[in-house]
Amino acid sequence: MDVLSAMEVFVRVIKLQSFSLAASDLGVSSSSVSKQVSHLEKHVGAALLERTTRRLSVTEAGAAYYEKCQLILSQVEQAETLVTELQGTPCGLLKVNSDIAFGSLLLAKAIPVFMERYPDIQLDLVLDDGAAGIVKEGVDLAFRIADSILPDEDLNIKELATIPQVLCATPEYLALHGEPRTPEELKEHKCLLSTSSKEANRWALSNSEGTYVVQAKGGLRANSSLVSIGAMQAHQGISKLARFEADRFIEEGSVRILLPDYDVSADRLFVAFPERQYKNYKAGLLIAFIEEWLVESLQQEDVV
């Protein structure tokens, strides 16, 4: 039995509180996960988990063993990272999570350049718009576009860039409902709302005379801008989008920017990565690369 591999499986089961979820995350069968834990229990001579049809709980011995396993696995990865740095050739797997908009429209363009620069690094990229992706077990770093991210004692959070926003709607929607000429008139319109944060639907617009804050209202709330874009294209309301999301629709003429004389408060691009006892060398390389890529590639296009 590979004790280190079994330890990793055991830690994953506890963190995810599920044999099946751990199996899915590791890319193996549930029976394989169960056998690994059973072999580990036989190896240490104690029951580590209590299994019932409804719940999974950790024994006293399992809880103590879990803490030591985490430390051992962390030290092993730290040692491997150190060797990688000394060799001067970054290699190995890097697990990355991103919200869908940034991941599909911008990160997808940057990653091929990164992989060309570091051909021995393998990337496992998962896109989702849920906050859980940031702390999901096994993720090395996560990118999120938001107005803010709440501090988390288990995470390091770094701001990478400012992401300009625009308000837009289709000509068909505006023909039916009229075009708002002032921030105040937005209150009379159907707005497509976000569930990303408590402040996400407080739209702040500024010009030379000051800043106006509008509490956007509407019948649709979603955690993904893809839903808002779909509803906007179906002429269902006004959407607040990152400029890089809206550009393609603006260029083809299917939507129009509203209140162009006002600046919409920008969101920010954050990267979050687990607080650990060592620096993840590969993650640091990707973060530095994305910062460089944003400056060189996107500011030229006024995207950030």
Determine the pLDDT at residue 15. 87
Distance CA 2, CA 230 (A): 49
pLDDT of residue 135: 57
Report how far residue 22's alpha carbon sits from residue 215's, in angstroms, rounded to the nearest whole number. 41
pLDDT of residue 277: 45
Encoded amino acid at 93, one letter:
L
Supply the DSSP string of 125-163, one letter for each residue. EEE--STHHHH-TT--EEEEEES-----TTEEEEEEEEE
Q: What number of CA atoms fall less than 13 Å from residue 104's CA on the CB side?
A: 10
- Report whether CATH 1.10.10.10 matches the domain 3-86: yes
Amino acid present at 199: E
Structural domain spans, the chain: 3-86, 90-304
Cβ atoms of residues 25 and 137 within 8 Å: yes
pLDDT at position 163 is 92
Strands 155-169 and 263-274: antiparallel
pLDDT confidence of residue 3: 87
Helices (H) and strands (E) in the chain, counts: 11, 13
Q: What is the spatial distance between Cα 304 and Cα 294, in angstroms, rounded to a whole number?
A: 8
Q: Using one digit for the tens of pLDDT, what is the confidence trace for 101-157?
A: 999 999 999 999 999 999 999 999 989 876 655 655 578 889 999 887 776 666 788
> Which residue numbers in the chain have pLDDT < 50?
277
Residue 24 tokens read as 């899915």
Helix (H, G, I), strand (E, B) or coil at 38: helix
In angstroms, the CA 140 to CA 122 distance is 12
Give the Cα separation of 14 and 57 in Å (integer): 8
**Of the candidates 23, 281, 24, the residue with the CA atom closest to the CA atom of residue 141:** 281
Three-state secondary structure call for residue 237 = coil
Question: Tell me: domain 90-304, CATH 3.40.190.290, correct?
Answer: yes
Q: pTM for the complete prediction?
A: 0.70
CA nearest neighbour of 202 among 86, 193, 210: 193
Alpha helices in 17-137, H assignment, sequence order: 19-26, 30-44, 60-87, 100-102, 108-117, 132-135
Task: Check if 3-86 and 90-304 are the same fold.
Answer: no
